[in-house]
Chain A
Amino acid sequence: MPDYTGQTVVSPIGMPPSRAGAWLHRFANPGRFQRLVQPVLPFLAAFAFVVTVTGLVWGFFFAPADWQQGIASRIMYVHIPAAWVAMNGYAALAICSLLSIVWRHPLADIAAKEIGPVGAGFTALCLISGSLWGRPEWGTYWVWDARLTSVLILLFLYLGHMALIRAFDNPQHGYRAAAILGLVGAVNLPIIVFSVYWWNTLHQGNSISVTGPSKIYITMLYPLIISTVGFYLAFAAMSLGRISSGIMENRARSLLLAQAERGGA
């Protein structure tokens, strides 16, 4: 049976389908996704804009300068949130790839396809802001340091995924190949996180820990948290909007194909 993509729906691997698989299929139904997302999306986008602007304005104008780095530390309010969103965005892409490979759900394919460009944008922002931070602090824009190199590889993984998913005439082939790349590339995430401990790097270690106390003073931590929340909300709003657009485009394409087939019959 042709689905909204105009492609024949492939049954999930394994018969009978597992309870988890059935739950995922019910939850990830494109129609349900649209009904859930479309009413929320304008509010999410507006909220993301307000929170991001608040975090950046607070960081740029009102956060105190670091006693060692001076005002260069204000780059932190762009660089750190962008790095976190870049890594967690790839984690989301890898989860979508897993769902695509195991359950072959078309919504996971569309999500992986649409997360890619957004994640690549945040990764590029992380690298650019990091270079601009490195120049006054390290005396250079770039070093082949383990942390910097692994984040550069993350950008290449995003770009490779974007290219691969669009490289085939049959979209299903692109989705399968890109899903494998997305899963394999996830091995880079722990390398990024632990690179500063496994190798001697110019890049500093983590200043913020979920389990332990923060090394950042509270007046600098608050704008960082707000900026981070804003970046995550922006990532969510842009990704959900693009996924919703992808679903509508596929729906329109399948309707046009059906009309053309009826006209030709």
Chain B
Amino acid sequence: MIKHVLPYVVGSYGAAILILGFLALTSLLRYRAARRRLAAVEPRSRRSDGSDHGRQGVKS
């Protein structure tokens, strides 16, 4: 039986913070980059963020 358990508890909470923080940060950065990129390509997306593309098809 291991007496000093606290490092394992801290380690599991640390892993939670690291993994969830990494996922949240990458999701946020990607979201902001996608918004900026779409706004650069399609100026009207500044208002709607691409939400109108369900109604307006891309003409090719």
A135-B8, A234-B24 in contact; A247/B50 too (CB < 8 A)? yes
| Residues of A1-33 contacting chain B, CB below 8 A | 1-4, 6, 29-32
Query: Would you call B24 and A125 a contact (CB within 8 A)?
Result: no
Q: Give the residues in chain A near B9, CB-CB below 8 Å.
A: 60, 71-72, 74-75, 132
A56 within 8 A of B: yes
Main secondary structure of the interface of B (DSSP, over half): helix
User: How many B residues, CB 8 Å from partner?
Assistant: 41
Q: How many residues of A contact B (CB 8 A)?
A: 58
Given A56-B16, A258-B60, A245:B51 Cβ within 8 A: no
Segment among A116-124, A153-161, A193-201, A208-216 that sits at the interface with chain B: A116-124
A128 CA to B37 CA in the complex, in Å? 36
Q: Is the CB of B5 within 8 A of A129?
A: no
A34 touches B50 (CB 8 A): yes
Stretch at the interface among A95-103, A167-175, A176-184, A236-244: A236-244
Q: Is A136 engaged at the interface, CB distance under 8 Å to the other chain?
A: yes
Q: Would you call A56 and B23 a contact (CB within 8 A)?
A: no
Indicate if the CB atoms of B34 and A238 lie closer than 8 Å. Answer: no
Indicate whether A128 sits within 8 Å of B12 (C-beta atoms), given known contacts A30-B54, A241-B31, A251-B53.
yes
Q: Which residues of B contact A (CB under 8 A)?
A: 1-2, 5-6, 8-9, 11-13, 15-16, 19-20, 22-24, 27-28, 30-31, 33-35, 37-38, 40-42, 45, 48-55, 57-60
List of 4 A-B pairs having minimum Cβ-Cβ separation, nearest first: A31-B54, A34-B51, A129-B12, A248-B34
